[in-house]
Structure 1
Amino acid sequence: MYVMTTAAAPTPATAPAPVWARRAAHAMALCALPSGLWRIAMASGIHVGYSDRILREVFDIPGWGIAYVVGLSVLAEAAALLPLLLVTDRWQPLRPRALAGLAWTASGLLVLVALWQLVVAFTVESQTYMSSDTALTVWWFAFAPLFAIPALMTAVTWSYAKRHRGSRR
């Protein structure tokens, strides 16, 4: 008597992430760092180019603005660490197709946010808060790396989607 059993087909092993994708994922975390440190300095009372009056009236520092600014820094850095999920196979919280879809959505949103931030950065009101041109230059150096994140995220997402195309768990 022959007994037929069906064995689960082994899931195809995906290729490891290319070195450039790993570096790009790590670079995103580093791109978020300068602006986060700048915000934490602002929340700590270090002069970052805003007058005391602007800090009190616009940003509510000291006050609830400290929690907001520090929370925003922590949230931005945590979000910048998430692309590391796309270059490692150690821990995958979602199936590859779901994670790829989420990553593509995040890439699109990051592009829109970056464009919106450019609009905000060039408005007259946002520039008049700074107390000097030097402070504005420091602000630009702190926030400029954030504009690299959409391109890096798109590249890492493309690499992930390409490696996991057709993969099912």
Structure 2
Amino acid sequence: MTTATAPAPAPLWACRAAHAIALCALPSGLWRIAMASGIYVGYSDRVLRDVFGIPGWGVAYVVGLSVLAELAALAPLLLVSDRWRPLRPRTLGTVAWITSGVLVLVALWQLVIAFTVESRTYMSSGTAQTVWALAFAPLCAIPFLMTALSWSYTRRHRTGPHRPNAISR
């Protein structure tokens, strides 16, 4: 008779990486919420009104985007927690790897655009552009952290139940 045991717990570095992903999304979300709230972030009132629809529908869009981004950034916590599993481990591992691949492709796409397309900005000063860059820079770490988490998760769940001193017969 075999008893099923839980897989090995997530290593400390994986737990920290999952929390770091949520923290990486926070500065850009706060920057967007500041923009939606009318706090000066480097755009003139005309640009906010004509380009972003603020005040108006743009407020809901920008705040909604911030909330969705943070919720998505909290999802990797499912890979290090055993409290709630919306999917079977193998399915969740597959979703994690697909997500990692998409995030890496999006990051590469953003780099190609940043270095090949002449950037058109509506920012009014170099200081505003620097603050914007500092707020969005942590997002670059997310694809790497997610890939490491996906590897850790699939490794822990592929090896089967955690039996520290089990001998195969």
What is the TM-score normalised by the length of structure 2? 0.89
In 2, the alpha carbon distance for the partners of 1:18 and 1:166 equals 15
Question: Which deviates more, 50-59 or 40-49?
Answer: 50-59
Quote the residue 2:51 is aligned against.
Answer: 58
> Structure 1: which 4+ aligned runs deviate by more than 6 Å?
none
Amino acid at match of 2:73: A
Quote the residue 2:69 is aligned against.
Answer: 76
**Aligned counterpart for 2:3 among listed residues 10, 31, 46:** 10
In 2, the alpha carbon distance for the partners of 1:64 and 1:167 equals 50
Quote the residue 1:124 is aligned against.
Answer: 118
Deviations 1:99-153 (A, max 9, x none): 0000001101111222233344454344x21101100000000000000000000
Deviations 1:66-103 (A, max 9, x none): 00000000000000000000001111111100000000
Following superposition, the deviation at residue 167 of structure 1 comes to 4.3
In 2, the alpha carbon distance for the partners of 1:108 and 1:96 equals 18
What is the TM-score normalised by the length of structure 1? 0.89
What SS is found at the alignment partner of 1:97? helix
Quote the residue 2:107 is aligned against.
Answer: 114
The number of residues matched between the two structures is: 160
Alignment identity in percent? 73
> Unpaired runs of 5+ in structure 1?
1-6
- Higher Cα Rg: structure 1 or 2? 1
Quote the residue 1:27 is aligned against.
Answer: 20
> Unpaired runs of 5+ in structure 2?
162-169
In 1, the alpha carbon distance for the partners of 2:147 and 2:119 equals 31
- Quick check: 1:96–1:167 contact (8 Å CA) kept in 2? no
Following superposition, the deviation at residue 10 of structure 1 comes to 2.5
In 1, the alpha carbon distance for the partners of 2:83 and 2:42 equals 43
In 2, the alpha carbon distance for the partners of 1:46 and 1:93 equals 38
